[in-house]
Structure 1
């Protein structure tokens, strides 16, 4: 479930978005149509609501955009929190008035959702501002924000001087390391890929990452504690491997001693990836779904996400100094890997659960 792992912050003010959007028909992305923004807004207002899955208020400051959309367009919002895999099952199985409209999935499962014919293709006027690696060329999915695998250390349990800054440091420690559920969570799967990259691997060769965590398990250093904010609050974490925006958000929401949590981007290699806002082909409120996706990619929508510590996918958006200052410095992201082939990475993730069980947890 995402709720315990994707916690955001408060809402901000809406900026005007009055532009023409380029859309795609739900049957053929290549046969693009032009939807006037006024038509999208008019229809979305009539629909009156947008139902999301995996996009709770408390994740990456989604509440900022939901509140803005409500204030500007009168479109209410409801969410059911779930994992990426559960979202796709929801898209597949729920129909009619109960169907959800929009979801937020790891881009590694974007190809699967597309092949299963679950998505409604749609491209806004921001399409060309999204990096090629972060979108489907036909418009079935596109990332709205990025995350980079990071370490977060609770210095109530680990000496600050021992907080890892690299995978090499992690190997030398004597603390427990939490990763999460590799079978179902994109964050945990990318943690394996990040370790693999640091050791010379890639999306088609995650064995170096599997071997890395197998070695930790042999030394009894893998924790079974979930990487959730509740467990951080209870002091049950020592070091966790999570998205950078989760780490920053946990630290802020827990509060207290500002130096309690040490956060670092692994200097010897990590992975940056994205989460894609996808539209359900069976959406009960298709216009509201389009409006929401478009707003998320607008300047204000991108700033809203940054307020929740997620880095906007659009590099041309200028963040207010007060927002930019709460993120980690750009200089921390020198050794970052982007998946070169999402189809191949998707194939790998399907095998990861079995690999983790047999080659990590089974080796002791």
Structure 2
């Protein structure tokens, strides 16, 4: 087993296999500019490899898609798990290291920065019109494949089931220790702050209600910014953690004790966002990266993600009954907020690390 750092939290990842093909170019050839799926598929088979960052096997069941790409198209896969910020740094490293990736999965709050830094290739898949406007770049530089909503996971060995928080207000009034993760680098943790802000009258332009919420927890010595792991959750070292819904559901499955962990979407407000699949402008395997992005948005790719508890971005995909049954009910998502101003949220996240250090951790 290997531990990764997807979005700044530690997650279990299955052993990764596959080696790079020798002699691959570090620059896209002419065929990479073609958006014809037949041509892309033909050239992806020749490339025979796709290298990703931040897309480990166990995160949202990426392994299902990687296996399909290998079985259907002969495209092998290799991943290095990273946070969103680290992924962008990796994209910048092309020509300096052999580990630069072809494709990555980053928080959509980070995606505009990648566009500004000229790191990405634009590619609109055949499913482009089925992706909500809030979840894609108008020019095709990024698009979300799945959604995540901020949730609470409570270990009822440490907190009575009847006392498990179902709202931010209960979380504030309770005595629980709260794991949030690293706000300075992790998209999940940043959206946790935004969700607390939204529940208390704020939004992507006004993060202060969220800052004040966690100031209170910090003053009461109830806030943990350590990275959450399946191991410390299983060992009983966590009381309440703030995570994406699909992570909470996946952790519970990995531990294999559904009755022990209570998972709730806070009833007084949460935030739904997504992770965007982005293609490195200088990908060594550009066609394989485009094929992967297209497959992720296909019915089969969307169902693969749902098997990993991530809610598909395409609403027209019919999930198998057993897959749909493992997700939280739609009724839990009544009070969910979408970021309305992506540019404003991007600007806020760029300031959030310093704000967090000075106004929360520094108190």
**Which residue is 1:171 aligned to?**
172
Q: 2:6 aligns with which of 2, 9, 16?
A: 2
Q: Give the alignment's Cα RMSD to 1 decimal.
A: 1.7
**Which residue is 1:328 aligned to?**
328
Residue 203 in structure 1 maps to residue 204 in structure 2: yes
If the length of structure 2 is used for normalisation, what is the TM-score?
0.91
- Structure 2 CA distance for aligned equivalents of residues 178 and 99 of structure 1: 32
How many residues align structurally?
341
CA contact 1:7–1:246 (8 Å) conserved in 2: no
**Which residue is 1:77 aligned to?**
77
* Deviation of the 1:228 alpha carbon: 2.0
CA shift digits 1:211-252 (9 cap, x unpaired): 001011111111244222122122111000000000000001
Matches within 5 A, 1:224-243: 224-243=225-244
Task: Decide which moves more: 33-42 or 146-155.
Answer: 33-42
CA contact 2:182–2:225 (8 Å) conserved in 1: no
- Structure 2 CA distance for aligned equivalents of residues 223 and 117 of structure 1: 36
CA shift digits 1:134-174 (9 cap, x unpaired): 00000000000000000000011111111000001101111
* Deviation of the 1:38 alpha carbon: 2.1
| Structure 1: gaps (5+ residues) | 10-25, 27-32
**Which residue is 1:245 aligned to?**
246
* Deviation of the 1:6 alpha carbon: 4.9
CA shift digits 1:316-351 (9 cap, x unpaired): 100001000000000000001101111111110111
- Structure 1 CA distance for aligned equivalents of residues 187 and 206 of structure 2: 17
**Which residue is 1:275 aligned to?**
275
**Which residue is 2:284 aligned to?**
284
CA contact 1:98–1:284 (8 Å) conserved in 2: no
CA contact 2:35–2:123 (8 Å) conserved in 1: no
CA contact 1:8–1:61 (8 Å) conserved in 2: no
The structure-2 alpha-carbon separation of the partners of 1:228 and 1:90, relative to structure 1 and needing over 3 Å to count, comes to same
CA shift digits 1:291-311 (9 cap, x unpaired): 000000000000000000000
CA contact 2:182–2:226 (8 Å) conserved in 1: no
- Structure 1 CA distance for aligned equivalents of residues 100 and 196 of structure 2: 38
* Deviation of the 1:94 alpha carbon: 2.2
Task: Decide which moves more: 240-249 or 349-358.
Answer: 349-358
If the length of structure 1 is used for normalisation, what is the TM-score?
0.91
CA contact 1:210–1:356 (8 Å) conserved in 2: yes
| Structure 2: gaps (5+ residues) | 15-27
